[in-house]
Chain A
Protein backbone atom coordinates (compact mmCIF):
# COMPACT_ATOMS: atom_id res chain seq x y z
CA UNK A 1 0.00 0.00 0.00
CA UNK A 2 1.23 3.45 -0.89
CA UNK A 3 2.34 5.82 1.78
CA UNK A 4 -0.40 8.27 2.84
CA UNK A 5 0.22 11.95 3.57
CA UNK A 6 -2.11 14.62 4.91
CA UNK A 7 -1.30 18.23 4.16
CA UNK A 8 -2.40 20.19 7.24
CA UNK A 9 -3.49 23.81 7.16
CA UNK A 10 -2.64 25.73 10.33
CA UNK A 11 -2.89 29.26 11.66
CA UNK A 12 -1.47 30.87 14.77
CA UNK A 13 0.13 27.59 15.84
CA UNK A 14 -3.15 25.66 15.68
CA UNK A 15 -3.92 22.99 13.09
CA UNK A 16 -7.25 23.23 11.25
CA UNK A 17 -10.12 21.06 12.51
CA UNK A 18 -9.73 19.02 9.35
CA UNK A 19 -6.38 17.61 10.57
CA UNK A 20 -8.00 14.73 12.46
CA UNK A 21 -10.61 14.23 9.75
CA UNK A 22 -7.80 13.64 7.26
CA UNK A 23 -6.27 11.12 9.68
CA UNK A 24 -9.62 9.32 9.74
CA UNK A 25 -9.81 9.34 5.93
CA UNK A 26 -6.27 7.91 5.75
CA UNK A 27 -7.29 5.03 7.98
CA UNK A 28 -10.29 4.35 5.76
CA UNK A 29 -7.94 3.92 2.82
CA UNK A 30 -5.63 1.71 4.84
CA UNK A 31 -6.54 0.68 8.41
CA UNK A 32 -2.88 -0.14 9.01
CA UNK A 33 -1.69 3.21 7.65
CA UNK A 34 0.71 5.35 9.58
CA UNK A 35 -0.27 8.57 7.87
CA UNK A 36 2.27 11.35 7.79
CA UNK A 37 1.20 14.93 8.36
CA UNK A 38 2.95 17.63 6.34
CA UNK A 39 3.01 21.22 7.56
CA UNK A 40 4.66 24.15 5.88
CA UNK A 41 5.30 27.63 7.20
CA UNK A 42 7.86 29.75 8.98
CA UNK A 43 8.67 30.68 12.53
CA UNK A 44 7.42 29.68 15.97
CA UNK A 45 3.81 29.07 14.88
CA UNK A 46 4.94 26.26 12.60
CA UNK A 47 6.91 24.54 15.38
CA UNK A 48 4.00 24.79 17.81
CA UNK A 49 1.56 23.36 15.26
CA UNK A 50 3.94 20.50 14.35
CA UNK A 51 4.51 19.46 17.93
CA UNK A 52 0.83 19.61 18.79
CA UNK A 53 0.01 17.44 15.80
CA UNK A 54 2.61 14.84 16.74
CA UNK A 55 0.06 13.73 19.34
CA UNK A 56 -2.26 12.62 16.55
CA UNK A 57 0.06 11.59 13.74
CA UNK A 58 2.90 9.06 14.08
CA UNK A 59 5.08 11.28 11.94
CA UNK A 60 4.95 14.98 11.15
CA UNK A 61 7.03 16.47 8.35
CA UNK A 62 7.94 20.06 8.91
CA UNK A 63 8.89 22.30 6.00
CA UNK A 64 10.12 25.65 7.29
CA UNK A 65 10.83 28.24 4.63
CA UNK A 66 10.58 31.99 4.82
CA UNK A 67 8.78 32.06 1.47
CA UNK A 68 6.03 29.92 3.03
CA UNK A 69 5.21 32.33 5.87
CA UNK A 70 1.94 32.87 4.06
CA UNK A 71 0.43 29.66 2.60
CA UNK A 72 0.74 30.41 -1.11
CA UNK A 73 -0.43 27.22 -2.84
CA UNK A 74 1.81 27.89 -5.84
CA UNK A 75 4.91 27.71 -3.65
CA UNK A 76 3.68 24.90 -1.44
CA UNK A 77 2.99 22.75 -4.51
CA UNK A 78 6.63 23.13 -5.50
CA UNK A 79 7.81 22.29 -1.99
CA UNK A 80 5.66 19.15 -1.88
CA UNK A 81 6.94 17.99 -5.28
CA UNK A 82 10.42 17.94 -3.77
CA UNK A 83 9.62 15.91 -0.66
CA UNK A 84 6.84 13.51 -1.68
CA UNK A 85 7.94 9.98 -2.59
CA UNK A 86 6.53 8.69 -5.88
CA UNK A 87 3.12 6.97 -5.81
CA UNK A 88 2.09 8.73 -2.61
CA UNK A 89 -1.52 9.30 -1.64
CA UNK A 90 -1.99 12.90 -0.55
CA UNK A 91 -5.06 14.14 1.35
CA UNK A 92 -5.98 17.82 1.62
CA UNK A 93 -9.10 19.46 3.04
CA UNK A 94 -11.50 20.65 0.34
CA UNK A 95 -11.56 24.36 1.11
CA UNK A 96 -10.10 27.45 -0.55
CA UNK A 97 -6.52 26.34 -0.01
CA UNK A 98 -7.00 22.72 -1.09
CA UNK A 99 -8.89 23.84 -4.20
CA UNK A 100 -5.91 26.05 -5.05
CA UNK A 101 -3.23 23.44 -4.38
CA UNK A 102 -4.52 20.00 -5.24
CA UNK A 103 -5.44 19.75 -8.96
CA UNK A 104 -2.03 21.05 -10.05
CA UNK A 105 -0.26 18.85 -7.51
CA UNK A 106 -1.87 15.76 -9.06
CA UNK A 107 -0.46 16.76 -12.45
CA UNK A 108 3.01 17.40 -11.04
CA UNK A 109 3.06 14.07 -9.20
CA UNK A 110 1.45 12.25 -12.15
CA UNK A 111 -1.26 10.85 -9.91
CA UNK A 112 -5.03 10.51 -9.96
CA UNK A 113 -7.18 13.31 -8.60
CA UNK A 114 -10.60 13.26 -6.99
CA UNK A 115 -12.03 16.35 -5.33
CA UNK A 116 -14.52 16.86 -2.53
CA UNK A 117 -14.54 13.23 -1.37
CA UNK A 118 -17.30 12.39 1.12
CA UNK A 119 -16.53 8.77 1.77
CA UNK A 120 -14.13 6.00 0.85
CA UNK A 121 -16.05 2.77 0.34
CA UNK A 122 -13.64 0.28 -1.14
CA UNK A 123 -9.95 -0.30 -1.58
CA UNK A 124 -9.22 -2.90 -4.17
CA UNK A 125 -5.83 -4.50 -3.80
CA UNK A 126 -4.07 -1.19 -3.39
CA UNK A 127 -4.66 -0.43 -7.07
CA UNK A 128 -8.06 1.22 -6.98
CA UNK A 129 -10.13 3.29 -4.59
CA UNK A 130 -13.88 3.61 -4.77
CA UNK A 131 -15.00 6.90 -3.29
CA UNK A 132 -18.21 8.91 -2.98
CA UNK A 133 -18.72 12.39 -4.41
CA UNK A 134 -21.76 14.53 -5.01
CA UNK A 135 -22.88 16.33 -8.14
CA UNK A 136 -25.50 18.98 -8.90
CA UNK A 137 -25.32 20.66 -5.51
CA UNK A 138 -25.81 17.40 -3.64
CA UNK A 139 -28.92 16.29 -5.51
CA UNK A 140 -27.19 13.06 -6.57
CA UNK A 141 -24.21 11.08 -5.30
CA UNK A 142 -21.70 9.23 -7.45
CA UNK A 143 -19.35 6.33 -6.85
CA UNK A 144 -16.04 7.14 -8.48
CA UNK A 145 -13.29 4.61 -9.15
CA UNK A 146 -9.82 5.99 -8.99
CA UNK A 147 -6.66 4.23 -10.17
CA UNK A 148 -4.08 4.88 -7.45
CA UNK A 149 -1.31 2.74 -8.88
CA UNK A 150 0.76 5.87 -9.53
CA UNK A 151 -0.51 7.71 -6.47
CA UNK A 152 -3.46 9.98 -5.81
CA UNK A 153 -4.38 13.43 -4.58
CA UNK A 154 -7.76 13.60 -2.85
CA UNK A 155 -9.47 16.64 -1.40
CA UNK A 156 -11.68 15.66 1.53
CA UNK A 157 -14.91 17.47 2.33
CA UNK A 158 -14.69 19.14 5.77
CA UNK A 159 -17.02 17.40 8.22
CA UNK A 160 -17.46 14.26 6.11
CA UNK A 161 -15.16 12.08 8.23
CA UNK A 162 -15.50 11.79 11.99
CA UNK A 163 -12.25 13.11 13.48
CA UNK A 164 -9.96 10.28 14.52
CA UNK A 165 -9.57 10.32 18.28
CA UNK A 166 -6.14 9.08 19.20
CA UNK A 167 -4.46 8.74 22.54
CA UNK A 168 -1.85 11.39 23.27
CA UNK A 169 0.84 9.96 21.08
CA UNK A 170 4.50 10.07 20.64
CA UNK A 171 4.79 11.01 16.99
CA UNK A 172 8.03 12.45 15.80
CA UNK A 173 8.60 15.70 13.95
CA UNK A 174 10.94 15.27 10.99
CA UNK A 175 12.46 18.43 9.56
CA UNK A 176 12.36 18.27 5.76
CA UNK A 177 13.22 21.94 5.21
CA UNK A 178 16.63 21.30 3.71
CA UNK A 179 15.15 19.22 0.88
CA UNK A 180 13.13 22.15 -0.41
CA UNK A 181 15.63 24.87 -1.22
CA UNK A 182 14.71 28.24 -2.69
CA UNK A 183 11.09 28.73 -3.72
CA UNK A 184 9.70 31.23 -6.21
CA UNK A 185 6.46 31.39 -8.18
CA UNK A 186 4.68 33.58 -10.70
CA UNK A 187 2.06 34.41 -8.10
CA UNK A 188 2.90 36.51 -5.05
CA UNK A 189 0.71 37.08 -2.00
CA UNK A 190 0.20 40.76 -1.21
CA UNK A 191 -2.36 41.10 1.58
CA UNK A 192 -5.61 39.87 3.06
CA UNK A 193 -8.58 42.21 2.97
CA UNK A 194 -11.02 41.55 5.78
CA UNK A 195 -14.73 41.49 4.87
CA UNK A 196 -16.73 44.66 5.42
CA UNK A 197 -19.07 44.59 8.41
CA UNK A 198 -22.31 45.48 6.59
CA UNK A 199 -25.41 47.20 7.91
CA UNK A 200 -26.87 44.26 9.85
CA UNK A 201 -24.85 41.76 11.89
CA UNK A 202 -26.61 38.48 11.15
CA UNK A 203 -24.49 36.68 13.77
CA UNK A 204 -26.35 38.50 16.56
CA UNK A 205 -29.90 37.26 15.89
CA UNK A 206 -31.86 34.39 17.48
CA UNK A 207 -33.92 33.92 14.36
CA UNK A 208 -32.74 34.15 10.77
CA UNK A 209 -35.04 34.24 7.78
CA UNK A 210 -32.55 33.00 5.24
CA UNK A 211 -33.27 33.17 1.54
CA UNK A 212 -31.80 31.37 -1.45
CA UNK A 213 -32.25 31.22 -5.19
CA UNK A 214 -35.95 30.48 -4.61
CA UNK A 215 -36.55 34.16 -3.86
CA UNK A 216 -36.25 34.54 -7.66
CA UNK A 217 -35.74 38.31 -7.92
CA UNK A 218 -34.45 41.29 -6.01
CA UNK A 219 -37.86 42.83 -5.40
CA UNK A 220 -38.96 39.67 -3.56
CA UNK A 221 -36.33 40.17 -0.85
CA UNK A 222 -38.91 42.51 0.71
CA UNK A 223 -41.16 39.48 1.34
CA UNK A 224 -38.48 37.97 3.57
CA UNK A 225 -37.71 41.33 5.19
CA UNK A 226 -41.36 41.79 6.17
CA UNK A 227 -41.39 38.41 7.86
CA UNK A 228 -38.10 39.16 9.60
CA UNK A 229 -39.43 42.52 10.81
CA UNK A 230 -42.56 40.88 12.20
CA UNK A 231 -40.46 38.23 13.98
CA UNK A 232 -37.74 40.58 15.20
CA UNK A 233 -35.36 38.56 13.05
CA UNK A 234 -32.78 39.37 10.39
CA UNK A 235 -32.68 38.33 6.75
CA UNK A 236 -29.64 36.30 5.75
CA UNK A 237 -29.03 34.46 2.50
CA UNK A 238 -27.11 31.85 0.54
CA UNK A 239 -24.49 32.46 -2.12
CA UNK A 240 -26.70 32.78 -5.25
CA UNK A 241 -28.50 35.76 -3.68
CA UNK A 242 -25.19 37.58 -3.20
CA UNK A 243 -23.91 36.55 -6.63
CA UNK A 244 -27.03 38.11 -8.15
CA UNK A 245 -26.37 41.29 -6.10
CA UNK A 246 -29.77 41.05 -4.41
CA UNK A 247 -28.17 41.27 -0.95
CA UNK A 248 -24.83 42.38 0.47
CA UNK A 249 -22.03 39.86 1.03
CA UNK A 250 -22.29 40.56 4.78
CA UNK A 251 -25.67 38.75 4.77
CA UNK A 252 -24.26 35.51 3.34
CA UNK A 253 -24.19 32.40 5.53
CA UNK A 254 -21.58 29.81 4.58
CA UNK A 255 -17.93 28.89 4.39
CA UNK A 256 -17.18 31.95 2.27
CA UNK A 257 -19.57 34.13 4.28
CA UNK A 258 -20.61 34.38 7.93
CA UNK A 259 -20.84 31.64 10.52
CA UNK A 260 -24.09 32.01 12.47
CA UNK A 261 -25.51 30.39 15.62
CA UNK A 262 -29.19 31.32 15.80
CA UNK A 263 -31.84 29.39 17.76
CA UNK A 264 -34.10 29.09 14.74
CA UNK A 265 -33.04 29.06 11.09
CA UNK A 266 -35.72 29.39 8.44
CA UNK A 267 -34.16 28.20 5.17
CA UNK A 268 -36.40 29.65 2.47
CA UNK A 269 -35.80 28.52 -1.09
CA UNK A 270 -32.29 27.35 -0.16
CA UNK A 271 -31.14 24.07 -1.71
CA UNK A 272 -28.65 23.36 1.08
CA UNK A 273 -25.16 23.07 -0.38
CA UNK A 274 -22.49 21.91 2.06
CA UNK A 275 -20.74 25.28 1.78
CA UNK A 276 -23.93 26.95 3.02
CA UNK A 277 -24.53 24.43 5.81
CA UNK A 278 -20.92 24.88 6.97
CA UNK A 279 -21.88 28.39 8.09
CA UNK A 280 -24.70 27.20 10.39
CA UNK A 281 -23.37 26.22 13.80
CA UNK A 282 -24.80 25.46 17.23
CA UNK A 283 -27.53 23.11 15.91
CA UNK A 284 -30.36 25.62 15.54
CA UNK A 285 -33.89 24.38 14.91
CA UNK A 286 -33.87 24.30 11.12
CA UNK A 287 -37.11 24.77 9.22
CA UNK A 288 -36.81 24.38 5.45
CA UNK A 289 -39.34 25.66 2.94
CA UNK A 290 -38.58 24.72 -0.65
CA UNK A 291 -40.75 23.80 -3.60
CA UNK A 292 -38.32 21.10 -4.72
CA UNK A 293 -39.04 18.01 -2.57
CA UNK A 294 -35.60 16.65 -3.56
CA UNK A 295 -33.69 19.66 -2.23
CA UNK A 296 -30.77 18.44 -0.08
CA UNK A 297 -31.80 20.90 2.65
CA UNK A 298 -34.60 18.47 3.62
CA UNK A 299 -31.98 15.92 4.66
CA UNK A 300 -30.62 18.15 7.38
CA UNK A 301 -33.68 20.20 8.38
CA UNK A 302 -35.74 19.39 11.47
CA UNK A 303 -38.99 20.30 9.76
CA UNK A 304 -39.67 20.65 6.06
CA UNK A 305 -42.46 22.20 4.03
CA UNK A 306 -42.72 21.64 0.30
CA UNK A 307 -44.17 24.94 -0.85
CA UNK A 308 -43.42 28.11 -2.79
CA UNK A 309 -41.81 30.61 -0.41
CA UNK A 310 -43.26 33.53 -2.39
CA UNK A 311 -46.71 32.39 -1.30
CA UNK A 312 -45.88 30.80 2.05
CA UNK A 313 -43.85 33.61 3.60
CA UNK A 314 -46.47 36.39 3.21
CA UNK A 315 -49.07 34.18 4.91
CA UNK A 316 -46.66 33.47 7.72
CA UNK A 317 -45.97 37.20 8.06
CA UNK A 318 -49.69 37.95 8.31
CA UNK A 319 -50.10 35.30 10.99
CA UNK A 320 -47.20 36.69 13.04
CA UNK A 321 -48.64 40.20 12.79
CA UNK A 322 -52.09 38.97 13.88
CA UNK A 323 -50.61 37.22 16.86
CA UNK A 324 -48.50 40.19 17.88
CA UNK A 325 -51.42 42.55 17.43
CA UNK A 326 -53.63 40.43 19.67
CA UNK A 327 -50.86 40.09 22.24
Chain B
Protein backbone atom coordinates (compact mmCIF):
# COMPACT_ATOMS: atom_id res chain seq x y z
CA UNK B 1 0.00 0.00 0.00
CA UNK B 2 1.34 3.45 -0.95
CA UNK B 3 0.69 5.77 1.97
CA UNK B 4 1.12 9.53 2.16
CA UNK B 5 1.17 11.24 5.55
CA UNK B 6 0.71 15.01 5.64
CA UNK B 7 2.53 16.38 8.67
CA UNK B 8 3.42 19.70 10.23
CA UNK B 9 6.08 21.17 12.47
CA UNK B 10 4.54 23.12 15.35
CA UNK B 11 5.60 24.68 18.65
CA UNK B 12 5.56 21.86 21.19
CA UNK B 13 3.10 22.78 23.96
CA UNK B 14 4.50 20.16 26.30
CA UNK B 15 7.84 21.98 26.14
CA UNK B 16 6.74 25.61 25.98
CA UNK B 17 4.47 28.15 27.59
CA UNK B 18 2.80 29.88 24.69
CA UNK B 19 2.74 33.66 25.10
CA UNK B 20 1.87 36.64 22.96
CA UNK B 21 4.56 38.72 21.31
CA UNK B 22 4.82 42.43 22.04
CA UNK B 23 2.75 43.49 19.04
CA UNK B 24 -0.03 40.98 19.72
CA UNK B 25 0.03 39.84 16.11
CA UNK B 26 1.60 36.44 16.81
CA UNK B 27 2.83 34.23 19.60
CA UNK B 28 6.38 34.83 20.86
CA UNK B 29 8.36 32.49 18.65
CA UNK B 30 11.90 33.18 19.89
CA UNK B 31 13.31 30.23 21.78
CA UNK B 32 10.26 28.04 21.16
CA UNK B 33 10.92 24.34 20.94
CA UNK B 34 9.34 22.92 17.78
CA UNK B 35 8.51 19.33 17.03
CA UNK B 36 6.28 17.30 14.75
CA UNK B 37 2.61 17.84 15.55
CA UNK B 38 1.65 15.09 17.97
CA UNK B 39 -1.28 13.66 16.01
CA UNK B 40 0.80 13.66 12.81
CA UNK B 41 3.42 11.53 14.53
CA UNK B 42 0.74 8.99 15.42
CA UNK B 43 -0.32 9.05 11.75
CA UNK B 44 3.21 8.24 10.60
CA UNK B 45 3.49 5.40 13.12
CA UNK B 46 0.16 4.01 11.90
CA UNK B 47 1.35 4.17 8.29
CA UNK B 48 4.56 2.32 9.20
CA UNK B 49 2.60 -0.39 11.01
CA UNK B 50 0.26 -0.86 8.03
CA UNK B 51 3.21 -1.18 5.66
CA UNK B 52 4.80 -3.72 8.01
CA UNK B 53 1.63 -5.81 7.75
CA UNK B 54 0.77 -5.50 4.08
CA UNK B 55 3.83 -4.02 2.39
CA UNK B 56 4.23 -0.71 0.57
CA UNK B 57 5.92 2.61 1.22
CA UNK B 58 5.38 5.61 3.47
CA UNK B 59 5.93 9.15 2.22
CA UNK B 60 5.78 12.08 4.65
CA UNK B 61 5.09 15.50 3.15
CA UNK B 62 4.93 18.91 4.74
CA UNK B 63 4.02 22.33 3.38
CA UNK B 64 6.46 24.83 4.80
CA UNK B 65 10.02 26.07 4.64
CA UNK B 66 13.58 24.82 5.14
CA UNK B 67 13.18 24.69 8.92
CA UNK B 68 10.45 22.11 8.50
CA UNK B 69 12.87 19.59 7.01
CA UNK B 70 13.80 18.55 10.55
CA UNK B 71 10.45 16.84 11.11
CA UNK B 72 10.74 15.05 7.77
CA UNK B 73 14.13 13.67 8.82
CA UNK B 74 12.74 12.69 12.20
CA UNK B 75 9.93 10.70 10.56
CA UNK B 76 12.38 9.18 8.06
CA UNK B 77 14.43 8.05 11.05
CA UNK B 78 11.25 6.39 12.35
CA UNK B 79 11.10 4.44 9.11
CA UNK B 80 9.31 6.58 6.52
CA UNK B 81 10.71 5.84 3.06
CA UNK B 82 10.49 9.36 1.68
CA UNK B 83 10.29 12.90 2.98
CA UNK B 84 9.01 15.68 0.74
CA UNK B 85 9.10 19.42 1.33
CA UNK B 86 6.40 21.39 -0.44
CA UNK B 87 7.60 24.95 -0.42
CA UNK B 88 6.98 28.12 -2.38
CA UNK B 89 6.84 31.83 -1.58
CA UNK B 90 3.30 31.98 -2.91
CA UNK B 91 2.14 29.43 -0.29
CA UNK B 92 2.66 31.86 2.63
CA UNK B 93 -0.55 32.92 4.38
CA UNK B 94 -2.56 29.98 3.07
CA UNK B 95 -5.69 29.07 5.01
CA UNK B 96 -6.85 25.47 5.45
CA UNK B 97 -8.35 25.39 1.97
CA UNK B 98 -5.10 26.73 0.53
CA UNK B 99 -3.05 24.02 2.23
CA UNK B 100 -5.51 21.36 1.05
CA UNK B 101 -5.29 22.75 -2.50
CA UNK B 102 -1.47 22.56 -2.42
CA UNK B 103 -1.59 18.99 -1.09
CA UNK B 104 -4.09 18.02 -3.76
CA UNK B 105 -1.51 19.11 -6.35
CA UNK B 106 1.08 16.88 -4.72
CA UNK B 107 -1.26 13.88 -4.38
CA UNK B 108 -2.09 14.06 -8.07
CA UNK B 109 1.61 13.86 -8.98
CA UNK B 110 1.77 10.35 -7.46
CA UNK B 111 -0.37 7.30 -6.79
CA UNK B 112 -1.38 6.95 -3.18
CA UNK B 113 -3.84 4.38 -1.87
CA UNK B 114 -4.16 5.98 1.54
CA UNK B 115 -3.61 9.52 2.78
CA UNK B 116 -3.31 10.20 6.49
CA UNK B 117 -3.24 13.47 8.43
CA UNK B 118 -3.24 14.12 12.16
CA UNK B 119 -6.67 15.08 13.47
CA UNK B 120 -5.57 18.58 14.39
CA UNK B 121 -2.48 20.74 14.74
CA UNK B 122 -1.80 22.67 17.94
CA UNK B 123 -2.54 25.87 16.06
CA UNK B 124 -4.85 24.33 13.49
CA UNK B 125 -8.50 23.77 12.77
CA UNK B 126 -8.94 20.00 12.26
CA UNK B 127 -9.73 20.82 8.65
CA UNK B 128 -7.10 19.93 6.06
CA UNK B 129 -7.85 16.18 5.88
CA UNK B 130 -11.56 16.66 5.25
CA UNK B 131 -10.90 19.42 2.74
CA UNK B 132 -8.30 17.41 0.86
CA UNK B 133 -10.70 14.46 0.62
CA UNK B 134 -13.44 16.72 -0.74
CA UNK B 135 -11.09 18.28 -3.31
CA UNK B 136 -10.01 14.81 -4.47
CA UNK B 137 -13.51 13.32 -4.22
CA UNK B 138 -12.11 10.60 -1.96
CA UNK B 139 -14.04 9.14 0.98
CA UNK B 140 -13.03 10.58 4.35
CA UNK B 141 -13.19 9.63 8.01
CA UNK B 142 -12.06 11.75 10.95
CA UNK B 143 -10.96 10.89 14.49
CA UNK B 144 -9.76 7.47 13.37
CA UNK B 145 -8.46 5.32 16.22
CA UNK B 146 -7.94 1.97 14.49
CA UNK B 147 -7.32 0.77 10.93
CA UNK B 148 -7.60 -2.74 9.58
CA UNK B 149 -6.78 -3.50 5.94
CA UNK B 150 -9.59 -5.71 4.64
CA UNK B 151 -8.25 -6.30 1.15
CA UNK B 152 -6.52 -4.22 -1.47
CA UNK B 153 -9.62 -2.09 -1.93
CA UNK B 154 -11.07 -1.30 1.47
CA UNK B 155 -10.30 -0.66 5.12
CA UNK B 156 -12.23 -1.17 8.32
CA UNK B 157 -11.75 1.93 10.44
CA UNK B 158 -12.95 2.91 13.86
CA UNK B 159 -13.82 6.52 14.73
CA UNK B 160 -13.75 7.93 18.23
CA UNK B 161 -17.22 9.19 19.13
CA UNK B 162 -18.78 10.31 22.42
CA UNK B 163 -18.26 8.57 25.73
CA UNK B 164 -15.33 6.46 24.54
CA UNK B 165 -17.58 4.59 22.10
CA UNK B 166 -16.32 3.61 18.67
CA UNK B 167 -18.07 3.97 15.33
CA UNK B 168 -16.97 1.23 12.94
CA UNK B 169 -16.98 1.97 9.21
CA UNK B 170 -15.89 0.32 6.02
CA UNK B 171 -14.18 2.72 3.64
CA UNK B 172 -13.08 2.35 0.04
CA UNK B 173 -9.53 3.10 -1.12
CA UNK B 174 -8.17 5.53 -2.05
CA UNK B 175 -9.32 7.55 0.95
CA UNK B 176 -8.22 10.20 3.42
CA UNK B 177 -8.24 9.55 7.17
CA UNK B 178 -7.50 11.98 9.98
CA UNK B 179 -5.84 10.16 12.84
CA UNK B 180 -6.68 10.63 16.51
CA UNK B 181 -3.90 10.62 19.11
CA UNK B 182 -3.53 7.37 21.06
CA UNK B 183 -4.18 5.10 18.04
CA UNK B 184 -0.79 3.41 18.61
CA UNK B 185 2.47 3.83 20.49
CA UNK B 186 4.82 5.84 18.26
CA UNK B 187 8.32 4.39 18.28
CA UNK B 188 11.18 6.25 19.87
CA UNK B 189 13.58 8.13 17.65
CA UNK B 190 17.09 8.71 18.95
CA UNK B 191 19.74 11.13 17.75
CA UNK B 192 21.58 8.22 16.17
CA UNK B 193 18.60 7.40 13.98
CA UNK B 194 18.31 10.99 12.85
CA UNK B 195 22.03 11.14 12.03
CA UNK B 196 21.64 8.07 9.84
CA UNK B 197 19.14 9.84 7.60
CA UNK B 198 20.88 13.24 7.73
CA UNK B 199 22.28 12.97 4.22
CA UNK B 200 19.26 11.46 2.47
CA UNK B 201 17.88 13.80 -0.16
CA UNK B 202 14.60 15.59 0.50
CA UNK B 203 13.04 16.73 -2.76
CA UNK B 204 11.29 20.10 -2.80
CA UNK B 205 8.27 20.94 -4.91
CA UNK B 206 6.89 24.40 -5.64
CA UNK B 207 3.64 25.71 -7.09
CA UNK B 208 4.68 25.27 -10.72
CA UNK B 209 5.96 21.71 -10.11
CA UNK B 210 2.56 20.77 -8.72
CA UNK B 211 0.44 22.73 -11.16
CA UNK B 212 -1.02 24.78 -8.31
CA UNK B 213 -2.67 28.05 -9.34
CA UNK B 214 -1.02 30.73 -7.14
CA UNK B 215 -4.31 32.65 -7.11
CA UNK B 216 -6.01 29.85 -5.17
CA UNK B 217 -3.42 29.58 -2.39
CA UNK B 218 -1.41 31.83 -0.06
CA UNK B 219 -2.69 35.23 1.02
CA UNK B 220 -4.36 35.67 -2.37
CA UNK B 221 -6.62 32.65 -2.03
CA UNK B 222 -7.28 32.84 1.70
CA UNK B 223 -10.86 33.45 2.79
CA UNK B 224 -9.80 33.07 6.41
CA UNK B 225 -7.07 35.16 8.04
CA UNK B 226 -5.78 35.62 11.58
CA UNK B 227 -6.21 39.25 12.67
CA UNK B 228 -4.50 39.22 16.07
CA UNK B 229 -3.76 37.09 19.09
CA UNK B 230 -4.92 37.91 22.60
CA UNK B 231 -4.91 36.37 26.03
CA UNK B 232 -8.19 34.59 26.68
CA UNK B 233 -10.40 36.61 29.01
CA UNK B 234 -10.23 35.25 32.53
CA UNK B 235 -13.45 33.66 33.70
CA UNK B 236 -14.00 34.14 37.38
CA UNK B 237 -10.51 32.67 37.68
CA UNK B 238 -9.11 30.47 40.41
CA UNK B 239 -8.15 31.84 43.78
CA UNK B 240 -4.42 31.17 43.60
CA UNK B 241 -2.88 30.01 46.88
CA UNK B 242 0.42 31.76 47.45
CA UNK B 243 1.46 30.03 50.67
CA UNK B 244 4.34 27.67 51.23
CA UNK B 245 3.89 24.12 49.98
CA UNK B 246 3.07 22.99 53.50
CA UNK B 247 0.45 25.71 53.93
CA UNK B 248 -1.05 24.86 50.56
CA UNK B 249 -1.23 21.17 51.44
CA UNK B 250 -3.10 22.05 54.66
CA UNK B 251 -5.47 24.34 52.78
CA UNK B 252 -6.25 21.74 50.11
CA UNK B 253 -6.97 19.14 52.76
CA UNK B 254 -9.23 21.58 54.58
CA UNK B 255 -11.10 22.37 51.36
CA UNK B 256 -11.48 18.73 50.31
CA UNK B 257 -12.94 17.98 53.75
CA UNK B 258 -15.22 21.03 53.77
CA UNK B 259 -16.59 20.28 50.30
CA UNK B 260 -17.73 16.84 51.36
CA UNK B 261 -14.84 14.93 49.92
CA UNK B 262 -13.46 13.45 53.10
CA UNK B 263 -15.59 11.78 55.68
Listed in ascending order, the chain A residues whose CB lies under 8 Å from chain B are 72-74, 77, 95-96, 99-100, 102-108, 111-116, 130, 133-147, 150, 185-195, 206-207, 213, 231-233, 239-240, 242-245, 249-250, 252, 255-259, 262-264, 266, 271, 284-288, 292-294, 296-307, 311-312, 315-316, 319-320, 323
Asked whether, in the complex, the Cβ of A319 is within 8 Å of the Cβ of B158, the reply is: no
Q: How large is the interface on B (under 10, 10 to 19, 20 to 34, 35 or more residues)?
A: 35 or more
Asked whether, in the complex, the Cβ of A186 is within 8 Å of the Cβ of B126, the reply is: no
| A195-B164 in contact given A190-B169, A231-B261 (Cβ < 8 Å) | yes
Give the CA-CA distance A288 to B238 in the complex, in Å.
Answer: 8
Asked whether, in the complex, the Cβ of B169 is within 8 Å of the Cβ of A187, the reply is: yes
- The residue in chain B whose Cβ has the minimal distance to the Cβ of A297 is B238
Contact of A143 among B159, B160, B165, B226 (CB under 8 A): B226
Asked whether, in the complex, the Cβ of B17 is within 8 Å of the Cβ of A187, the reply is: no
Contact of A147 among B159, B170, B172, B224 (CB under 8 A): B224
The listed residue with most B CB atoms (<10 A of its CB), out of A252, A263, A264, is: A264
Listed in ascending order, the chain B residues whose CB lies under 8 Å from chain A are 11, 13-14, 17-20, 27, 96-97, 100, 119, 122-123, 125-131, 133-135, 138-143, 156, 158-172, 175, 181-182, 185, 223-232, 234-235, 237-241, 245-246, 248-253, 255-256, 259-263
B167 contact set on A, CB distance < 8 A: 96, 189, 192
Asked whether, in the complex, the Cβ of A141 is within 8 Å of the Cβ of B246, the reply is: no
Asked whether, in the complex, the Cβ of B164 is within 8 Å of the Cβ of A249, the reply is: yes
Asked whether, in the complex, the Cβ of A96 is within 8 Å of the Cβ of B159, the reply is: yes
Asked whether, in the complex, the Cβ of A137 is within 8 Å of the Cβ of B131, the reply is: no
A-B contact pairs, 18 of them (CB 8 A): A103-B134, A107-B130, A115-B126, A136-B123, A137-B13, A140-B18, A142-B229, A143-B228, A144-B224, A145-B226, A146-B223, A147-B223, A186-B172, A187-B170, A193-B168, A239-B181, A252-B164, A258-B163
Interface of B is mostly: mixed
| A138-B232 in contact given A256-B164, A303-B239, A316-B249 (Cβ < 8 Å) | yes
Asked whether, in the complex, the Cβ of B20 is within 8 Å of the Cβ of A140, the reply is: yes
